[in-house]
Amino acid sequence: MTDAYVALEDGRVVEARARAPGRTRGELVFTTAYTGYEESLTDPSYEEQILTFSYPLIGNYGVREERFESDRVHPRGVVARELTEDVAEWLEDEGVPAVDALDTRDLVTGIREQGAMKCGIAAGPDATPEDAEAELAECKGMSEHTDIGGQVSVDEQLTFNADGDGPTVALVDCGAKGSIIDSLVDRGATVEMLPYDATADDVKAVDPDVLFISNGPGDPKNFEAAADLVDEYAGNLPLAGICLGQQVIANALGGETEKMEFGHRGVNQPVMDLRTEKVVMTTQNHGYTVSEPGELDVTQVNVNDETPEGLESDELDIITRQYHPEANPGPHDTLGFFDDVLGMVEEPAATQ
């Protein structure tokens, strides 16, 4: 049954089956993750994108809220070879258009050859190819959303594990996954989550032991407030970052970032530590990368394309990762990153 259409920037209009009705538009990207669809769909880094799953069956173990990484679905639309009823109903309840019964292998190949592209989707009994093309035209005409952080960040400060016996971490929420908070709290840290546009005074009021810039969607150059915090505190307070956080920190310290052709999104990206030559498998979800590290040293690289996966500075007490050490979904090979982050905090003088 054809009652949905996907209009692509390369001129094609692909027929599909509507699983959650509606019209939508955004950047078409893909993930190679074969599990963890609940975590992927609730990852704030997918804000304003259309997520295509390369794995053919999505939903074979249901939908459980305890696996969510945030309080809602973030992609503007979902494309799959086959969606189960559980996932389709969840997306419809969330108001997120979804389609299946199309050749996702062809879509993924097109993205790999041409890069991430804009698309429009029309799904439902009255949908037409022209509706999808109209959505695509709207998408092409949209200027880049420079304040995307406002769509994914908390509005006010939140505290997690207030009675923790470990360091206090000021987590700047540019679109943080819940598992990052969990990973810090599990190690005894108190996490003070601050809005993406927090000021130096906001951080000072928290009096943290570590300043942590989270993951998030879009171009890292749009997160100017977070970059200002890095500029203010680098060398005065240990700094850490994941994904977009790495990019923001690099930009603030004389580096450069650039958009990738189709990004890294999946749970099997190999990363090599340049000091030990050890390779670990990682979870990734990003469309930008650090092209010049500035004042930081590249300590880890992606085995496939040699893009920087880890940046550090012993002098400035900075450690960042482009991949997601907290995983969810994915392997737990790199959970030790959180121990390294908290290990940057100096012990009180009385215990030294």
Q: Is 233 annotated as a binding residue?
A: no
Q: Which residues pair with 122 in a beta bridge?
A: 5, 23
244 is in an annotated binding site: yes
- Distance in angstroms (rounded) separating the CA atoms of residues 315 and 312: 9
Residue 78 is inside which H or E element, if any?
A: strand 77-79
288 is in an annotated binding site: yes
Count the neighbouring beta carbons within 10 Å of the beta carbon of residue 300: 25
Specify whether 243 is catalytic.
yes
287 is in an annotated binding site: yes
Which entry of 74, 264, 286, 324 is annotated as an active-site residue?
324
Give every CB contact of residue 140 below 8 A, 6+ residues apart in sequence. Answer: 9, 118
- Find the DSSP H helices in the chain: 37-41, 85-94, 104-114, 129-141, 149-152, 178-185, 200-206, 224-233, 244-252, 336-343
**The one catalytic residue among 9, 39, 69, 326:** 326
For the chain, the straight-line distance linking the first and the last C-alpha, in angstroms and rounded, comes to: 70
Contacts of 69 (CB under 8 A, 6+ apart): 39, 42, 43, 44, 177, 178, 179, 328
Check if the beta carbon of residue 36 is closer than 8 Å to that of residue 329: yes
Q: Among this protein's residues, is 286 annotated catalytic?
A: no
On whether 302 is known to bind a ligand per the annotation, the reply is: no
Residue 196 among known ligand-binding residues: no
| Residue 171 assigned to a binding site | no
Q: Is 326 a known active-site residue?
A: yes
List 27, 174, 243, 286, catalytic entry: 243
Angle at 100 between CA 94 and CA 101, to 5 degrees: 160
Binding residues for L-glutamine: 45, 216, 218, 244, 247, 285, 287-288
Known binding-site residue numbers: 45, 216, 218, 244, 247, 285, 287-288
Catalytic residues: 243, 324, 326
